[in-house]
Amino acid sequence: MPNSNQILNDILDAREKRASLRSKFVNNERCTLSLSLNIAGYPKSNPLLLSFFNDVLSELNDYLQANRIEVEIADELKITDEAGDFFIVPFLSSLNDVEKLKKLTETFESTHILGRLIDIDIFNEKGMPISSGKKKLCYFCGEFSAVSCMRNKRHSYKDIRKKLSDEISQYLENKRKELVVNKLTSYATKAILYEISLSPKPGLVSYENSGAHTDMNFFTFLNSSASLTPFFKEFCLLGYQYSGKYEAVLGQIRQIGLRAEKAMFKATNDINTHKGIIFVFGIALFSIAKLVSEKEGYHDNGFRLITKKICKGIVANELLSTSKKAITHGEKVYEKYSMIGAGVRKEAEDGFPSIFQKALKPFDTSLNIFSYNNQNEIQQILQTALLQIMSVNNDSNILYRSNLDTLKQFQKLAKDAINNNDAYYKLCNFCIEKNISPGGSADLLSVSLLLYFVKTEQL
């Protein structure tokens, strides 16, 4: 490592080059805005500090745009040297505009959670700094001016650097968590909107008709979808922050799920539109967020492993009635058909085999090359994926409304309808005649879409 005199000389040389660069802009009668970080000690830049600098620069750009000020954020205007990370941009402006810009940037600094580390300078077209006259408080103690603490050596560089590193790391991690959770939440909402938009669907509500349902329609599902989005975010936050055993988390997922159900019933006038989705998305979003929060990121094997651990024993624990008589729909179907009637709980306990063995294949071979503007193609891909699930899924909704023979007929018709639109409409008519609605399969389609978005769109 260079000695202290060499470090100081290198920093001073870097700052001199920055001043020369600013002078070139002034020679062309340009004002300048620059951004740098107040970093005590050495080095003035490293990967962590550069990440923070780039994040602040992006925030500053958004802030300026929101206040109707356009600056060019270009890579060639960014510098990393011995003095740290630096950005400078020239612009044309009047004196009033320059002073207004200075006030705006002061507000940006003062309201930023790590604003004491941020230094935004405004110079007019004559190369004179626009000063507020305010002294920046010490980053470490916040009691005295930064200059006073530096001159009086009130704090050690080691302590300052540790505080700086810890707080920037936490800041960047919080920003990443917010970004991941927001994206996952949007993917979840998009997935259920894609599912309800597939029209028509065998026995299910769609834009064209209500299938075998008489108490709900397309708009009932839109109302329900909107009500659930905040709870999707809660599932994601729980997963991202969770550090306990997976076998112990189902109760916490259920707590969020129960509040989601109340919101759903309120939005739909007590109609059950998405109770199954709340269950499967609670488990899926938790598992995805947990994986993404870790270094390895999302991968199918990890997702299946976590869901299996969360749902270990769920069929026996929740479907074996403790009373003499089965009460819930799930208990009644399970009592009559055993594992064949275990429904989506069995799927979750087994790591969603219908999704990974069937539903994702049409997406993997089609969705990555199709145009989102081609509605007919989207419909066809979604239809194929849904039929793949229906052909193997022992949908407990069908068993509750009908019987095992009807389920077997339904599965065969679904298999025949893959890539055969005539057979597809035959299947739709069959569901109306038998008054059956494969809601469990629709829920698995939504989970399949969620996983596809996670794997193909940036998190």
181 and 139 within one domain? no
Q: What is the pLDDT of residue 241?
A: 96
Task: Establish if 257 belongs to a structural domain.
Answer: yes
Q: How far apart are the first and last CA of the chain?
A: 38
* Residue that is last in its domain, among 155, 188, 218: 155
CA angle (389 as vertex; 386, 393 as ends), nearest 5? 140
Q: Within the chain, how many helices (H) and strands (E) appear?
A: 19, 4
pLDDT exceeds cutoff 80 at 99: yes
Residue 80 makes CB contacts below 8 A (sequence gap 6+) with 45, 50, 86
Q: What is the pLDDT of residue 383?
A: 95
pLDDT exceeds cutoff 80 at 147: no
CATH of residue 62? 3.30.70
Average pLDDT over residues 122-130: 91
pLDDT exceeds cutoff 70 at 370: no
306 and 335 within one domain? yes
pLDDT exceeds cutoff 60 at 91: yes
Percent with pLDDT over 70 in the chain: 92
pLDDT exceeds cutoff 80 at 96: no
Helix or strand run (H / E) with residue 91: strand 84-91
Q: Is 278 strand, coil or helix?
A: helix
Q: How confident is the model at residue 2 (pLDDT cuts 50, 70, 90)?
A: low
Strand partners, 123: 32, 129
Q: What is the pLDDT of residue 458?
A: 75
Q: What is the pLDDT of residue 140?
A: 61
Q: How confident is the model at residue 143 (pLDDT cuts 50, 70, 90)?
A: low
Residue ranges making up the domain that contains 100: 4-155
pLDDT exceeds cutoff 60 at 324: no
Say which range, 3-17, 315-329, 346-360, has the weakest mean pLDDT.
315-329
Q: What is the pLDDT of residue 379?
A: 92
382 and 277 within one domain? yes
Q: What is the pLDDT of residue 199?
A: 96
* Dihedral class, residue 129 (left if φ above 0, else alpha if ψ from -120 to 50, else beta): beta
141 and 188 within one domain? no
Task: Establish if 287 belongs to a structural domain.
Answer: yes
188 and 91 within one domain? no
The single-letter code of the amino acid at 418 is I
What pLDDT digit, counting tens, does each position of 184-213 carry? 999 999 999 999 999 999 999 999 999 999
Global pTM reads 0.90
Percent with pLDDT over 90 in the chain: 71
DSSP state of 31: E
284 and 193 within one domain? yes
Residue 245's alpha-carbon distances to 153, 290, 296, 380, in angstroms, are: 47, 12, 19, 41
The DSSP result for 149-217, as a single string, is HHHHT-S-HHHHHHHHHHHHHHHHHHHHHHHHHHHHHHHHHHHHHHHHHS-SBTTB--SS--TT-SS--
Q: What is the pLDDT of residue 215?
A: 94
Reference 386, options 442, 323, 320, 309; nearest CA is 442
Q: What is the pLDDT of residue 76?
A: 78
Contact 242, 286 (CB under 8 A): yes
Task: Establish if 290 belongs to a structural domain.
Answer: yes
Task: Establish if 161 belongs to a structural domain.
Answer: no
Q: What is the pLDDT of residue 132?
A: 73
Task: Establish if 334 belongs to a structural domain.
Answer: yes
Task: Establish if 214 belongs to a structural domain.
Answer: yes
Q: What sign does the dihedral 158-159-165-166 (CA atoms) show?
A: positive
84 and 150 within one domain? yes
pLDDT exceeds cutoff 70 at 106: yes
CB atoms within 10 A of CB 65: 12
CA angle (365 as vertex; 364, 370 as ends), nearest 5? 100
205 and 298 within one domain? yes
Cα 202 from Cα 416, distance rounded (Å): 13
Q: What is the pLDDT of residue 356?
A: 94
Strand partners, 246: none
DSSP state of 243: -
Mean residue pLDDT of the chain comes to 90
Number of domains in the chain: 2
Q: How confident is the model at residue 361 (pLDDT cuts 50, 70, 90)?
A: confident
* Residue that is last in its domain, among 120, 155, 190: 155
446 and 333 within one domain? yes
Q: What is the pLDDT of residue 149?
A: 67
pLDDT exceeds cutoff 60 at 163: yes
The DSSP result for 32-83, as a single string, is EEEEEE---SS-S--HHHHHHHHHHHHHHHHHHHHTT------GGGEEEETT
173 and 146 within one domain? no
Contact 141, 163 (CB under 8 A): no
Task: Establish if 201 belongs to a structural domain.
Answer: yes
Q: What is the pLDDT of residue 323?
A: 60
What pLDDT digit, counting tens, does each position of 328-345 carry? 788 889 889 999 989 999
Q: What is the pLDDT of residue 69?
A: 86
Contact 239, 154 (CB under 8 A): no
* Dihedral class, residue 211 (left if φ above 0, else alpha if ψ from -120 to 50, else beta): left
Average pLDDT over residues 16-36: 91
116 and 216 within one domain? no
**Cα dihedral: 358, 360, 366, 369 (round 10):** -160
* Residue that is last in its domain, among 155, 177, 201: 155
185 and 117 within one domain? no
Q: Is 431 strand, coil or helix?
A: helix
Q: What is the pLDDT of residue 369?
A: 56
Average pLDDT over residues 120-133: 88
Task: Establish if 444 belongs to a structural domain.
Answer: yes
